[in-house]
Structure 1
Amino acid sequence: MSDYDIVVLGGGPGGYAAALYAASAGLSVALVEKRDIGGTCLNRGCIPAKALLHAAEVYRTVGHAGDFGVNLGEGAQVSADWPAVNKRKSGIVSTLQKGLGGLLKRRKVTVVNGFGTLTGSGAVSVGGQTLTGKAVIICAGSEPRSLPGLEIDGERIVTSDHATNSDAAALPERVAVIGGGVIGSEFASAYTDFGVDTTLLEALPNGVLPVGPDRDTANVLAKALAKRGTTIHAEARVGTVEATSNGLLVPFETPKGADKIEVDQLLVAIGRRPVSEGMGLAEAGIAVSERGFIDVDTATMATTRPGVYAIGDCVATPGLAHVAYAEAVVAVQAILGENPAPVDYAKVPWVVYTHPEVAWAGMTEAEARAAGHDIEVHKHSFAGNGRAMILGDTDGLVKVVAARGGPILGVHLAGPWVSELLHEGYLAVNWEALPSDVGALIHAHPSLSEAIGETMIPFSGRSLHG
């Protein structure tokens, strides 16, 4: 039996963040992980997916080199070397894995490989040994969901986990993506940019990003995808998928009627579900919802069993790596008795790494109106932004929602590199800044961030270029 201050179950973003933060506070920590440190985000999700998206961006940019006056030479053809793309992606993942492993070692975190389960006494059993701690933090993560009757085989019918770790010699020529949410939209964007014949099937009325962002920004992405060749079907109900001699036959129905398409691969991207089975939660007296999420008090991330906490994708909070980081800090501070500031989930930053990118923090216009706010809304397009024109990437806008005469309630962006622009808006929303405060600040010229300043100034009743 080994005694620690904290035993962490799961080595994903929440788990390794909890381990590192606790170790930096002088606590002894054991980190239990059945697969690779870094979890889904580093190994099968965020990092490899964004590496593939950036490769798609490079492919798209090189294909339009002539627009910038760059001649590739007579007869030159742009092609995607899929094994090389994957090799680069895997290299990035490997480098980050090694760096993370080294950091855990330097912080003297004990890493235990294996599947950990809770015992009735609240200890952790793994690989024939028992780990005890003054506290346990569960960071069990999540896994892709599927549809009834769809058997994921990892080759023709795949999830995002397979798509980010494909060892195929080439991309499929025809792909259908079921689900127009964040994951589905990102893969549809990447596939389309690589020249794959891509069809996006979404069950909800808005085919692209139907839940989450402001409709104005989501519509920018929908129009851009359609313009680049993505076929989008909203309110699409997928029927029984059949194998054919040439691939898969995917039938679906929309308000326009029944249809079917033949594809080489079907990507199921309808969301993720928490991993909470087989961990001994019931035996340890930890309550779990009908959907499989571990019940917690979000003020401290404490479960229904004293001394046991849960964070990340296995709790019903936004499934984002950076949210898991923040929850890790809350849990460790609670264990230390430091009265942590809870995460304000209504104001966390969200990013969709498509082309164009979509990002937001705070309330959408519809949410603000539904909440009863008297609001004022201003928008500014990237079409007239000098830096966007230089980049050749002018699709998009900045939209700010504010209480009339009051603070900023939400900042919404679609366009080039808005993942990097968002944080000015995130700070403004969380600090409850007035639009006039932000509009009075100087933004460098030429820069994409000027669009944020240009959107804030009209709240004063005046404007510059708008």
Structure 2
Amino acid sequence: MSDYDVVVLGGGPGGYAAALYGASAGLRVGIVESDSMGGTCLNRGCIPAKSLLQTAEVFRLANHADDFGIVPKEGSGEFTADWGKVTERTTGIVDRLVGGLSGLLKRRKVDIMHGRGVLRPDGLVAVDGQAIDAKSVIIATGSAPRTIPGYEVDGEQIVTSDHSTRSPARPERVAVIGGGVIGAEFTSVYTDVGADTTLFEAMPTGVLPVGPDPELAALLGKSLAARGTKIHAGVRVLPPERSGSGVIVPFEIPDGSDKIEVDQVLVAIGRIPVSADMGFAEAGVELTDRGFVVVDPKTMGTRRAGVYAVGDVVDTPGLAHVAYAEAIVAVKAILGEKPTPVDYSRVPWVVYTHPEVAWVGLTEPAAEAAGYETEIHRYKFTGNGRAMIIGDTEGMVKVVAQKDGPILGVHLIGPWASELLAESYLAVNWEALPEEVGAFIHPHPSLSEAVGEAMLAFTGRSLHG
């Protein structure tokens, strides 16, 4: 008899979701994690990064309190950010969530094994050399930050996002290399808490060069620049030089070269799968040239029978909620059920910058490239009463639909775009018509009215647009 029905390698979102879902279905589950339960997302990524972004929002709002009629008492000065307390708050949130997750796993009777788990050629799992027998294995080993040659990470002057979420001090001058999701979010944090922030992006389009609708990415870039971020797009950074007081970052520009001196460099050029030296290839699990585990998306199964893979170790969108969905697919396949594969073209995306950017479905260029005849409508938050009340009217809702057909994509930039996306996610995935969503009643005053107004415009009539 096997020790377990399923052993999960990795305790991040994909791993713990697989363990919890499998245990709730009656499977005997063991989970192996060499670090803290929760993986990168909970300990060094999603949760602590968003905590810092919330701090930045509070700081920004506090320094505009007089817009709401709130003024400091006589003799008091401007607000400052106590980075020690910021880090303490973030750590407290992470610790509570890690503790809650560990407790939930134990209540589901999932065995937690702390150590380094590898896959053996015979299909067994070895945890620090001890063999563990399982009918099935789910690989959920996650990802790690990519680095740049010459930018050796030391955790102090040259860092990755792993370090930035737990930094004991805020750098006064910071260079962010990479304008993707991670780079954009940290740029937003540092800019809003008063750091002298410079963003470098190799692609000429600048911030968020891949993913969102280009129109929204451009609006985010303009917003960051207006708040003081120096953005260098279409440039190549050269190996750094150490100075007595910091790091000198040279970079090439179209008509020559330049350099800046900063206290800290954040390398944010993406992530790579954690699959090396894990025994995967030796056990018959196929890997791509970039180290991703190859799976059948209908089951998340690998070429090795009984071995599945989910999350960042698979070449699918590196999002925690995608890992959750893939974990459910894998567990259902193990149970002999017929899982519904993840539709990666209709996954919800959010970038938690200020303003927030969120989208689902096709962008305008992607819809046109796919051959659709499109109809586009926008509604700006400047006309939304709730946005005026909260003092945040920057941004808009953009809806891409097939002409006389269903909604193909919804793209938001503005206040609480992350929370407004759910309605749009349902609309895109259910292939709703814009006029059907436009007929929904949205509470007034609310930010959600902006979505309804954009949809209503497809009827040729409008209320406030």
TM-score range with shorter-chain normalisation?
over 0.9
SS in 1 for 2:133: strand
Corresponding residue number in structure 2 for 1:56: 56
Corresponding residue number in structure 1 for 2:8: 8
1:38-437 correspondence runs (5 A): 38-74=38-74, 75-166=76-167, 168=168, 170-437=169-436
Query: How far apart, CA to CA, are the structure 1 residues paired with 2:256 and 2:369?
Result: 33
What is the total number of aligned residue pairs between the two structures?
464
Query: How far apart, CA to CA, are the structure 2 residues paired with 1:236 and 1:25?
Result: 51
- The Cα shift of 1:235 comes to 0.4
Q: Do the aligned residues in 1 keep the contact of 2:2 with 2:135 (CA within 8 Å)?
A: no
Amino acid at match of 1:302: G
Amino acid at match of 2:434: P
Query: How far apart, CA to CA, are the structure 2 residues paired with 1:149 and 1:309?
Result: 36
Query: How far apart, CA to CA, are the structure 2 residues paired with 1:253 and 1:389?
Result: 42
SS in 1 for 2:333: helix
Amino acid at match of 1:148: P
- The Cα shift of 1:73 comes to 1.6
- The Cα shift of 1:461 comes to 1.4
SS in 2 for 1:208: coil
Query: How far apart, CA to CA, are the structure 2 residues paired with 1:373 and 1:71?
Result: 53
What stretches of structure 2 of length at least 5 have no aligned partner? none
Runs of 4+ in 1 over 3 A off after TM superposition: none
- The Cα shift of 1:256 comes to 4.5
Query: How far apart, CA to CA, are the structure 1 residues paired with 2:215 and 2:78?
Result: 36
Per-residue displacement from partner, 1:317-361 (whole Å, max 9, x unpaired)? 000000000000000000111110000000000000000000000
Of the structure 1 ranges 421-430 and 128-137, higher mean CA displacement relative to structure 2 is found in 128-137
Q: What is the TM-score normalised by the length of structure 1?
A: 0.99
Q: What is the TM-score normalised by the length of structure 2?
A: 0.99
SS in 1 for 2:31: strand
- The Cα shift of 1:259 comes to 1.1
Per-residue displacement from partner, 1:17-50 (whole Å, max 9, x unpaired)? 0000000000000000010100000000000000
- The Cα shift of 1:303 comes to 0.5
What stretches of structure 1 of length at least 5 have no aligned partner? none
Per-residue displacement from partner, 1:145-193 (whole Å, max 9, x unpaired)? 0111210110000000000111x3x311100000000000000000000
Q: Do the aligned residues in 2 keep the contact of 1:362 with 1:410 (CA within 8 Å)?
A: yes
SS in 1 for 2:16: helix
Corresponding residue number in structure 2 for 1:20: 20
SS in 2 for 1:283: helix
Q: Do the aligned residues in 2 keep the contact of 1:177 with 1:198 (CA within 8 Å)?
A: yes
SS in 2 for 1:78: coil
Per-residue displacement from partner, 1:371-428 (whole Å, max 9, x unpaired)? 0011101011001111111111111000000011111000000000000001111110
Query: How far apart, CA to CA, are the structure 2 residues paired with 1:186 and 1:240?
Result: 24
Query: How far apart, CA to CA, are the structure 2 residues paired with 1:128 and 1:220?
Result: 52
Q: Do the aligned residues in 2 keep the contact of 1:2 with 1:130 (CA within 8 Å)?
A: no
Per-residue displacement from partner, 1:58-77 (whole Å, max 9, x unpaired)? 01100110111001122322
Query: How far apart, CA to CA, are the structure 1 residues paired with 2:259 and 2:273?
Result: 32
Of the structure 1 ranges 437-446 and 128-137, higher mean CA displacement relative to structure 2 is found in 128-137
